[in-house]
Amino acid sequence: MDAEFWHQRWGANEIGFHQERGNPLLKAHFSKLNLAAGSRVFIPLCGKTNDIAWLLAQGVHVIGAELSELAIEALFADLGLRPDVTELGKLRRYRAPYIDIFVGDIFELSAELVGEVDAIYDRAALVALPESMRRSYTVLLTEICRAALQLIICFEYNQDLQEGPPFSIGEAELRDHYEAVYALQCLDRVKLEGGFKGGAAANEVVWLLNKTEVSLL
């Protein structure tokens, strides 16, 4: 992940990946997580997604990680919250009731900093990372969240026809990253109207990952 690339995108407000109304597939499949009120949901590379406001309205506690401080300042402004900001080594933590966001390199996070996680919602992290970084990311995510339940949204399209990010993540790759720890279930596959970025035909795919009984995490 090129940090400067993402800082430039946020600085120039080139955030076509941001969905003003949140992600409809999250709303359609959130109930599959069977979370109790007060459950803690981790969102890697969260940006200022409006999914956070929706999740807070469902009564869950949101923990996020994001590289861009501009994005998190905008997030808290949109939520109408004034966060407490603390320095944690190479990270900053923005905190308000029921929300904690860590700003900086996600690879600086630890299980101790993140705390208990009941579920992970990954809509924009795995698909944002180049192939060379995905293994390190999935290992990190599994470790810091102790193989918590995951709801993942991926894109499938011909990578030869369209450059990422977001990148195409097919079933074979997803299983390669996670099948040693999780049981994977495809919940939905939706064709993107008009294709990906107006070009390549693409699907948006929702996966539910449950930790297997044999996992030691």
Q: What's the Cα-to-Cα distance from 214 to each of 111, 155, 180, 181, 209, rounded to whole Å? A: 21, 29, 9, 8, 14
66 is in an annotated binding site: yes
Alpha helices, DSSP H, located in the chain: 3-11, 24-29, 51-57, 69-79, 111-114, 131-144, 171-178
- Determine the Cα angle at 189 with ends 151 and 2, to 5°: 60
The two most distant CA atoms of the chain are separated, in Å, by 46
6 is in an annotated binding site: no
Strands 202-211 and 40-44: unpaired
Q: What's the Cα-to-Cα distance from 195 to each of 8, 97, 202, rounded to whole Å? A: 26, 39, 5
Among 19, 30, 1, CA closest to 208: 30
Q: Which residues pair with 191 in a beta bridge?
A: 203
The single residue listed with the structure tokens 């995905």 is 134
95 is in an annotated binding site: no
**E-state strands within the chain:** 40-44, 61-66, 84-88, 91-96, 99-103, 119-122, 149-157, 182-191, 202-211
87 is in an annotated binding site: no
- Binding annotation for S-adenosyl-L-methionine: 10, 45, 66, 123
User: Residue positions in the annotated binding site?
Assistant: 10, 45, 66, 123
